[in-house]
Structure 1
Amino acid sequence: MRTEMAEDMVIIGAGIAGLTTALGLHRMGLRSLVLESSDSLRVTGFALVLWTNAWKALDALGIGDFLREQHVLLDRLVFTSTISGLATSQLPLRADSKHESREVRSVKRNALVEALAKDLPRGTIRFSSKVVSIEEADNLKLLHLADGSILKTKVLIGCDGLNSVVAKWLGLEKPVSSGRWAIRGYAEYLGGHGLEPNFLQFFGNGSRCGLMPCDEKTVYWFFTRTPSAKYKEIEENPAMMKQFVLSNLGNVPEALVNAIESSDFGSIVASPLKFRKPWNVLWGEITKGNVCVAGDALHPMTPDIGQGGCAALEDGVVLARCLAEALLKEPGRESNSGVEDKEDEFNRIKMGLEKFAKERRWRSFELISTAYVVGSMQQSEGKVIGFLRDNLLSSLLSGLLLKKASYDCGKLNIS
């Protein structure tokens, strides 16, 4: 006999977007259930860069200061050619000419995920819960889980990543390969690394890499390149991956070489870089009735402008606010869904999700497109593009990064 349960709101995926949405809803007085297929919190990759827009979202959630205490504030972004070894441009990260605040930090992914989860009510996350299919039943969605149980819900939010079952149900196309791979790692220095708090990026000869400190003892590095046949052979071998990176760095500082050499094999991971075609986000169905997607399930993008995780945080805040506006009569009061007509409740949920889609559709399109173009320019092996990049485009690229990071997702309140 199969087990059937019911929840008002279900979020699939306990990643950044899923946990942000759950915490945002909790701050607004709304309960949700997060289904996670793994048996514990997922931590894919060691660190990520969080720009100003991400910190605005974290402050809206009430956990910004907690994370600031653990991670250093970065001073400058420095672009350097691996061909000449010379810096092509520098960008201050703390403040611009108008003295507007900027904030960029390299944040450990486990610290971010744990901070998002720690204030959730007990029982909000249900681990080892894999959704295998979705079925409609009037205005409810029936989630069929791998263990044979069925979960009924009034709201379904897919934050289940690149291979999202919810995105597939909505009819969105699968993410496509960018043709590039990324190798990422970190190094720990028990006595301190002694690096200045700068975000260093290097590009040339078809590669792009970077180095930055997370705190006083830990540094994070990455390397991206279009793979060769040989590269595909070494993707499961960390020792060979490390050697591959070291042999393709070009003219870079000793600090980057040392960080890679000092990284344990267990800290090095490789993955293909995929993205959703931006027009699929613009014209595809990212919400339908009481179902929507967020995070990588909505806008997977290449990491070239460092906005994937930032956008997931934005999504969660905006989505929680839109649902609260739809379901709560006043801030802090629960929905009277127990007495109102079910059709009316469904329509209110639909309107809330459509408002979320309206706010996030163009933003997602811009981020995916910008990331792809920036990555293509930075990793181009063409002499003309290389010359323009090193001499004219670096300042333009810097401006693009700051422009995309100036976005404000707003507060968690009902207008």
Structure 2
Amino acid sequence: MESSVVENIVIVGAGIAGLATSLALHRLGVRSLVLEYSDSLRVTGFALTTWTNAWKALDALGVGDILRHQHLQLQQNVTTSLSMGQQTSSLCLIGTGKHGDGEVRCVRRQLMIEALANELPSGTIRFSSKVVAIQESGLFKILHLADGTTIKTKVLIGCDGINSVVAKWLGFKEASFTGRYVIRGDIKLMNNHGLQPNFMHFFGKGFRSGVLPCDDTTVYWFFTWTPTTEEKELVNNPGKMKRLVLEKCEKMPSHMRCFIEKTEAEDILTSPLRYRNLWELVSGNISKGNVCVVGDAYHPMAPDLGQGGCCSLEDGIVLGRYLAQAFCKKGETEEQYKEIEACLRKYAKERRWRNIDISVTSYVLGLLLQGDLKFLAHMRDKVLPHFLAQLLVKKSDFDCGKLNTSD
């Protein structure tokens, strides 16, 4: 076994949450080491709807304009009931809110990950570094890696996703299954796709789907539903999942269905939707001593508000701001540990209720949007469309603040 390397801050996971946290710390003059289990940046997931709150965070990190220039700004959220065969709602996405003008773009996940990673100093991300165990060592934590390496750190931040080793160490249980799945697809065309810059929402019996342009030639689509027992057996077959979507969305306008039809099997991904139950969100240890969790490791959520990645960016800004305060002060190891512990508690306190609000609202929204009962379907098609569209905008009208330790 290699002798322990000593680090000030170790972040487990080089996804959106981990890279945003590391970059926030870097902008504030604090170095961190990011451990990533894979041998390169993970860019699965194709794209994510990036709302106003996320753009404020990306601007604070200094990468907002890089991504703006690569993606179209969406103008409207247009809702269509496939059961009724008509448009039921249209809401402007660029109106002025409490925290300024709205801004929504469908951002390719690879480009966001690369934009964040490219701003970090060389050597910040260590690939092929899987954490298998966490050990106490006085005021430090010792991380045991799969290759036999051990790393001693003053601060441990878990950004390692839905199956987080760090969250488990903090006492969180395995995330719960919503009963629903999402199928995601991505297609890049040779020519302009011809779509208006809108978020096209479609609702049918027991499912929700969406088609969004990312740029002039790239289109992202998704489909969420509660599968039957027979359908569950097919979730690992992209070709059959594609046929399922086309069958369910047979009433979708042909110029929208064509993007699904043209998507190659290797560009289709099916995943179960998971969430953390309310009691764990309220009472769980977001931080304990010099350890905390960020992003999906803390609050995996259903995608019905499109806020999973957005809230992860917010987390990174807030944590970076607080944690930098602890490293700006000089002192003995024990004094610094107490300062770190206090800063992580402040982060946990600030982020807990924001993430509870988004997580619980997303879960309830999913039940309403995909409810198969006649009453719920009637409410969704006749009463809720405009309210739900407004909710998407309202929850994204949020500013996590700038990157300075005087906030």
Give the shorter-chain TM-score range: over 0.9
Q: Deviations over 1:128-175 (max 9, x none)?
A: 000001010111000011011110000000000000000000001210
For residues 273 and 370 of structure 1, the distance between their equivalents in structure 2, rounded to whole angstroms, comes to 15
Q: Deviations over 1:296-344 (max 9, x none)?
A: 001000000100000010010111001012321xxxxxx43xxx22111
Percent identity over paired residues: 54
- 8 Å contact 1:33–1:126 — kept in the other structure? yes
For residues 2 and 408 of structure 1, the distance between their equivalents in structure 2, rounded to whole angstroms, comes to 44
Q: Please state whether the residue corresponding to 1:142 is helix, strand or coil.
A: strand
- 8 Å contact 1:8–1:153 — kept in the other structure? yes
Residue of structure 2 equivalent to 1:309: 309
Q: Unpaired runs of 5+ in structure 1?
A: 329-334
Alignment: residue pair count: 406
For residues 254 and 296 of structure 1, the distance between their equivalents in structure 2, rounded to whole angstroms, comes to 36
1:189 aligns with 2:189: yes
Residue of structure 2 equivalent to 1:138: 138
Give the drift of 1:108: 0.3
Q: What TM-score comes out, normalization by structure 1 length? A: 0.96
1:351 aligns with 2:359: no
Q: Please state whether the residue corresponding to 2:209 is helix, strand or coil.
A: strand
Q: Unpaired runs of 5+ in structure 2?
A: none
One-letter amino acid of the structure 2 residue matched with residue 105 of structure 1: R
Residue of structure 2 equivalent to 1:291: 291
1:408 aligns with 2:402: no
2:382 maps to which of 391, 400, 407: 391
Following superposition of structure 1 onto structure 2, how do residues 205-284 of structure 1 map, counting pairs within 5 Å? 205-284=205-284
For residues 98 and 26 of structure 2, the distance between their equivalents in structure 1, rounded to whole angstroms, comes to 36
Q: Pick closer, same or farther for the CA change 1:375–1:250 going to 2, 3 Å.
A: farther
- 8 Å contact 1:178–1:275 — kept in the other structure? yes
Q: What TM-score comes out, normalization by structure 2 length? A: 0.98
Following superposition of structure 1 onto structure 2, how do residues 15-414 of structure 1 map, counting pairs within 5 Å? 15-96=15-96, 100-328=100-328, 335-336=329-330, 340-414=331-405
- 8 Å contact 2:97–2:397 — kept in the other structure? no
- 8 Å contact 2:99–2:397 — kept in the other structure? no
- 8 Å contact 1:282–1:365 — kept in the other structure? yes
Which ranges of 4 or more aligned residues in structure 1 deviate by more than 3 Å? 96-100
Q: Please state whether the residue corresponding to 1:117 is helix, strand or coil.
A: helix
- 8 Å contact 1:279–1:365 — kept in the other structure? no
For residues 10 and 188 of structure 1, the distance between their equivalents in structure 2, rounded to whole angstroms, comes to 36
Q: Deviations over 1:269-321 (max 9, x none)?
A: 10000011122111111100000000000100000010000001001011100
- 8 Å contact 1:3–1:148 — kept in the other structure? no
- 8 Å contact 1:204–1:380 — kept in the other structure? no
One-letter amino acid of the structure 2 residue matched with residue 90 of structure 1: S
For residues 224 and 184 of structure 1, the distance between their equivalents in structure 2, rounded to whole angstroms, comes to 9
- 8 Å contact 2:99–2:399 — kept in the other structure? no
- 8 Å contact 1:76–1:92 — kept in the other structure? yes
Q: Please state whether the residue corresponding to 2:249 is helix, strand or coil.
A: coil
What's the Cα RMSD here? 1.2
- 8 Å contact 1:204–1:378 — kept in the other structure? no
For residues 283 and 83 of structure 2, the distance between their equivalents in structure 1, rounded to whole angstroms, comes to 41
Q: Deviations over 1:23-48 (max 9, x none)?
A: 00000000000000000001121000
Give the drift of 1:100: 3.9
One-letter amino acid of the structure 1 residue matched with residue 296 of structure 2: D
